[in-house]
A = this chain, B = another copy of it.
Amino acid sequence: MIIIGEKINGTIPSVRKAIEEKDEAFIRELAVKQAEAGADYIDVCAGTAPEVEEETLKWLMEIVQDAVDKPLCIDSPNPRTIEKVFKYARKPGIINSVSEEKNKCEILYPLIQGTEWQVIGLTCDNDGIPSDVEKRISIAKILVEKADKYGISPDRIHIDPLVIALATDNDAVRKFVEALEGIKKMFPNVKITSGLSNVSFGLPYRKALNQVFLTVAVFAGMDSAIMDPTNRDMMTALYAAEAISGKDRFCRKYLNAYRKGIIGPAKEH
């Protein structure tokens, strides 16, 4: 499982405060803790007003890259912003994200053409998130086929089938799994990714729902997740889910994580 650490996001109140106060130490600590906990990439999202997004992202990118050796996942709803801050990345990471909204692909694919950068592709378009599975699969197909024109191979693309809130659609997770399976069938080398918290929006004790969603998604073949690697319960579910999925030979990773104290009884609730 490829873990994209989600914690440096300006829409989170404590992070927004750190951004406003230029609190470098706070951001640095979030980067270090996520890297230590097992993040493979560190997501950076400014979440600020558009006019200061570029400088904020640049500031976050510098701090994270000075603090840890992990590649970035550059996260913005605005492809022009990503285009502008791209040059501050010191090594190939992930662009978060393209979709079939407006001309995102046309702006961002040329940026990573001929590089080792990867990209997250959301299965939505100018009409929003399709409620049916087939439409999501067809958007994934367009995203992968457009990428091919720029020499971006499927294994560099993480498709996010966009699980919606269970409170809105009781079949949200079934649809996610069906979309995952449909996309994998079409493009076996495409990676499937997801955030873990949308599914539980509007329901109580969200962590329980997020954990079982992660479990089912891992078993179904999800390759990467945008998550909080410092969440011990979630990491426990992740290692356990990989073990029961048959993806962890001799349960070695599970055993190692237990021995190192990465998983095990939660320390707090």
By a beta-carbon cutoff of 8 Å, the part of chain A in contact with chain B is: 166-167, 170-174, 199, 203-205, 208-209, 211-213, 215-216, 219, 236-237, 239-241, 243-246, 248-251, 254-255, 258, 263-266, 269
Contacts and interface: CB of A to CB of B under 8 A. Distances in A.
Contacts of A250: 170
Contacts of A208: 236-237, 239-240, 263
A255 B170 CA distance: 13
B244 A173 contact: yes
Nearest to A213: B244
Contacts of A265: 205, 269
Contact of A211 (B209, B240, B254): B240
B170 A203 contact: no
A162 to B, nearest CB: 15
Nearest to A267: B269
Contacts of A254: 203, 209
A241 B204 CA distance: 14
Nearest to A167: B251
A255 B203 contact: yes
Contacts of A258: 204-205
Contacts of A215: 211-212, 215-216
Nearest to A216: B219
9 contacts: A170-B249, A170-B251, A203-B254, A204-B258, A205-B264, A209-B243, A211-B237, A215-B216, A266-B269
Contacts of A251: 166-167, 170, 203
A246 B173 contact: yes
A246 B178 CA distance: 13
A11 to B, nearest CB: 24
Nearest to A175: B246
Contacts of A241: 212, 216
A236 B254 CA distance: 22
Contacts of A266: 266, 269
A241 B266 CA distance: 20
A240 B212 contact: yes
Given A203-B255, A219-B219, 6 more contacts: A170-B248, A170-B249, A173-B246, A204-B258, A211-B237, A266-B266
A75 B71 CA distance: 56
A219 B172 CA distance: 13
A34 to B, nearest CB: 21
A186 B243 CA distance: 29
A217 B213 CA distance: 13
Contacts of A212: 215, 237, 240-241, 243-244
